[in-house]
Amino acid sequence: MASQDPREANKKPPFPKQEQDFPGSEAKMDPLPDFGEKSYKSHNRLQGKIALITGGDSGIGRAVALAYAREGADVAISYYNEHEDAKETERVVLASGKQCLLLPGDIQKEEVCKQIVADTVKKYGRIDILVNNAAFQGKTIESMDELTHDRVCQTFHTNIIAMFDMVRLALPHMKPGGSIINTSSIQSYQPSDFILDYATTKGAITSFSKGLAQHTIKHGIRTNVVAPGPVWTPFIVQSFPPEKSAEFGKNNPMGRPAMPVELSPSYVFLASDEATFINGEILGVTGGLLMG
């Protein structure tokens, strides 16, 4: 059977005009993001693993949680307060025959990060895979005056400082063979001025991960990065104005954004034993946008 043209593999803009407030709801998006419930096929790559995924309620995080569960892992997902979305992620994980631990809370706070790790270890006994995926992206700006001190602090605390905390707290509960996967972005390489605070943190994540990989491999734990291009997630409708979200991904070489299900195989690969000699690498899933 001939392979499908990747440009036509998922829905293309224009999408219906829509806008949401932070933190956004996947359940209210149109079209609904495809996270793989009907299409993701297991290859038994993560049997018996324990995975902790931040930002696991929706978007890329939900797609990764579903894929990990179908690959044989029990999962814990942390999220801010999007309980409806988190319950849907829990539903599909449980339907895959695996356990799912829901961990709400604001990871800007160190004590929340401590509780997330403690609750995961209490339930599962260890952490084999840590996916640092949670992030904050504010409304697009037109002037630097809109990048207030408080907004920049929120972006940095959520996107990079919490990542330091999660790694520091999780590492004592990880053994050789473990894997850390951090979510960066094409914004690390092609930063946009209208989300400059977000883009800056994604650049920091790339540098953090390359350096972290040199440290964690001394303990037999690999660290890698997935750098997505445009992906149709609640981020888009809660940060872009309706006119821009309607055309989101139009200028990508594919002519469309990715759906979350198109990201999850990269996270599975990097967490699996098929990637045992991959450490400190950035895996771009950008639709053809150039990195570097």
Which residue numbers are catalytic?
198
Between CA 200 and CA 213 the distance in angstroms is 20
The residues, any chain, with a CB within 8 Å of residue 254's CB and separated by 6 or more, are: 6, 7, 287, 288
